[in-house]
Structure formats: structure tokens, C-alpha cells
Amino acid sequence: MVALYWFFVILMAVGAIGAFVPGIPGAILILVGVVAWGIVHGFAGLGVPLAVAILAFLAGIGIDFLAAYWGAKRAGASKWGQIGAVVGLLLGVFGLLPALPFGGPLLGLLIGPLLGAIIGELLYQRDLKRALKAGVGIVVGSVIGKVIEGSLAVVALLVFLVSTYPPIA
């Protein structure tokens, strides 16, 4: 039973890391780990960790979108810039951008949205200065959102550990 507990803790730790890093499942892994532990061990004493995991998951989804939107709006990005950033993110993460000598998908997830937003803004406004500003705004908003989302995931993991570790030990 102890080995299974640590398996779920490792699964949730991967989820906490994934909340910071795009392309890796985030808070959903923490939620799955809490629910799976509840199924195996019984849900007694899991009310608070389960509620926190659900809130972290739902808030993470909302924060992800709102942070990118906020960054785009603050920088004056149009819908074209936002669409370009999403397309650039997908191309960067899945390695469809020209091969980078280092960094791979992790570097692609930073460069992709920036280039996508800039290209989208250039297609719409044809003003390089505004396009650069919009691209940087979208990336900054997305990074801030990931930091908040990751922090919530770490809190959910810590609440689970604090609530469940003493009975296991």
C-alpha cells in the first residue's frame, strides 16, 4: 500500500511540473491521483484534498486562457495575434518549426507563440513595432498564467501530502 501511495505522489508531482510546462498534463494528473488514491484507500479524510485538487484544476483552465488574453489586451493585440500565438504554440511544441539546434519543444513553446503572434499581427496591421509589442505581451501573459497555474498545482499536491502522509507513515 505504501508503494502505491508513493506511485500516486510521483504521478501528482509530474502533474505539478506539468502545470508549469506546457505539453505535459498538469493539474488533471493531481486530480486523477487524488481520486485514484480515494478509490484504492477510501475517501475518508480526502474531502479537503479532493476539493483543492478540483479547484486547482478548474482555476488552472480559466487562468490559462485569461492570462494570455490579459497579456494580449494589455499589449494591444488583435484576434489575429492571438490566433497566431496559438498556432505558433502548437507548431513550436510539436516540433514543426524549423529544427532548433538546442531546446527542442521547450524552446519551441516560447518561440512559437511569439513568432505566431508577430506574424498574425503583421498580417492584420502591417506594423512591426505593434506586432512585436503584441507578441511579447501574449508570451508574458502566458508565462504569468503558467506560474499561477503551477503554484495552484503545487498547493494541491502539498494539501494532499499533509492530509494523507501521517496515516501512511
* Residue 7 confidence (pLDDT): 93
Tens digit of each residue's pLDDT, the chain (169 residues): 788 889 999 999 999 998 887 667 888 999 999 999 999 888 888 889 999 999 999 998 888 777 777 877 787 778 887 788 778 877 776 666 555 555 556 666 677 778 888 888 888 878 788 888 888 887 788 788 888 989 999 999 999 999 888 776 6
Provide the angle, in degrees to the nearest 10, between the axes of the packed helices 47-75 and 79-93.
120
* Residue 96 confidence (pLDDT): 62
* Residue 169 confidence (pLDDT): 62
- Count up the domains in the chain and report the number: 1
Dihedral (CA of 129, 89, 156, 50) sign:
positive
CA-to-CA distance for 90 and 54, rounded, in angstroms?
26
* Residue 103 confidence (pLDDT): 54
* Residue 19 confidence (pLDDT): 86
Global pTM value: 0.75
DSSP assignment of 72-134 = HHHHT--HHHHHHHHHHHHHHHTT-SSPPSS-HHHHHHHHHHHHHHHHHHHHHH--HHHHHHH
* Residue 98 confidence (pLDDT): 56
